[in-house]
Amino acid sequence: MARSGPVTVNEGTVALGFAQIRVGSSADNIADIHPALSASDSIGALANTTFRGPTDWYKLESGFPLIEDMTTPIREAAQLECAFKEMTPANIALALGHDPNASPYSTMTTTSGEVPLGGRVAPKFLRMEAVYTYPSGSNYMYIIFPRAQVPASPEIAFAAEDAAAVTVIFEAKSADSNVTDGNAVWDDKPLGRIHWE
């Protein structure tokens, strides 16, 4: 008897595991729609990675009783939430809204440095690329936010028998030519893109 129901069409497209999160300069890479960061830009081991596309919808209704005629988006966002395990000065700086690739954090080692507390300002703009490798090892999905911010309220919960993980959310911001630090390559995809290869 033939199988029925949601039978796998292409097993190579099933996602298993986390994406690697890479963080770099937005300004230096704003004109590049392709993946521009390397594995050396990774924030390291993760506890989770979750992409979200929150959207607010307007529903047009008419008649009596009211019946929905159409739905259209009125607000759109793109976010990537992850929890990093590696407590480096650069990662903690990232969670506090700093650019980990800028001085002084870029010159710190993984085990020495200082991140100031107090006096926070608007989070710096960063480029975030989430690189997901399919189980085949030869196919990839890239989530690219060319101009993102991390407005986190970090919390580090230490545990006796598990690694601590700090949750941050990368929020995509407009990167098109309408903003000062944007570029025309993003005019038809102002928050970024999801790319497969």
What are the start-end ranges of the E strands in the chain? Answer: 20-25, 46-52, 55-62, 67-76, 79-84, 126-133, 140-149, 166-172, 193-196
What band does 9 get if pLDDT is binned at 50, 70 and 90?
confident
pTM: 0.92
Q: Please say whether the beta carbons of 91 and 44 come within 8 A.
A: yes
Three-class DSSP category at 167: strand
Give the burial class of 18: count Cβ atoms within 10 A of its Cβ; 0-12 exposed, 13-18 middle, 19 or more buried: middle
Concatenated DSSP letters of 68-125: EEEEEEEEE--EEEEEE----HHHHHHHTT--TTSTTGGGS-SS------S---SPPP
Spatial CA neighbour of 171 closest among 126, 140, 138, 131 = 126
Give which of 120, 116, 194, 184 is closest to 150, Cα–Cα: 120
**Cα distance from N-terminal residue to C-terminal residue, the chain:** 36
Segment 59-70, tens digit of pLDDT: 999 999 999 999
Is-contact 33 185, C-beta < 8 A? yes
Span 149-175, pLDDT tens digits = 999 899 999 999 999 999 999 999 999
Question: How much is the pLDDT for 16?
Answer: 85
Per-residue confidence (pLDDT) for residue 4, from 0 to 100: 87
The yes-or-no verdict on residue 147 having pLDDT over 80 is: yes
Residues in the chain: 197
Are the beta carbons of 176 and 191 closer than 8 angstroms?
Answer: no
